[in-house]
Amino acid sequence: MATRTKTEPSTSERILDSAELLVQTRGFNNFSYADIAAELGITKASLHYHFPGKAELGYALISRYSERFSAALDRIDHEHSDVREKLGAYAALYADVLRGERMCMCGILAAEYPTLPKPMRAEVIRFFDENHKWLAELLAQGRAEETLRFDGPPDEVAQGIVSTLEGAMLVARSYGDVARFNVTARQLLGTLSG
């Protein structure tokens, strides 16, 4: 009987995985190609072959992260029909990252925004814009169904949700306590109940 072998990730995927962990735990400006090369046991020349510079690596990181986050939002849409459940699942995405002793990658990059290369800055903004759009549509749906109540336009409330969750991650990380994040998320979402 033939057995299937698990496909090993490509070198570029391994580089991205390593760099993603470094960004989420240290920040973009606090690691070098030497850190990745040492962890993966490859040469810096191999890194430059796949990603000619750190700006290209950063752009690829954000693009991949955004695609994965977008796929997670699609899963939420397919797995939950209730708007309140979708909001809870959305907040859980952040909590899961924090539980892994990481930060939202675009959140940590936002803290370093002025020092990032321009293409990376545009991708960080695009990530947040996509989150705002998804949340605003969800909030508008909840308002129309009378399952959510809130003051102001859905897009402004969406911005507030993202900002609050990102900030709650930072504070919870300082304490090493995911429960602090969960309290904030629960209170935030509780204010929207219809």
Displacement of CA 45 from its chain's centroid (Å): 29
Q: Name the pLDDT band for 8 (thresholds 50, 70, 90).
A: confident
- pLDDT tens-digit series, residues 36-74: 999 999 999 999 999 999 999 999 999 999 999 999 999
- What per-residue confidence (pLDDT) applies to 51? 96
- Residues with Cβ < 8 Å from 12, sequence gap 6 or more? 50, 51
pTM over 0.85: yes
- What per-residue confidence (pLDDT) applies to 2? 46
Phi, psi dihedral angles at 103 (to 5 degrees)? -115, 160
Helices (H), 80-153: 83-99, 105-111, 118-145
Q: Which domains does the chain have, with CATH numbers?
A: 63-190 (1.10.357.10)
Average of per-residue pLDDT values in the chain: 94
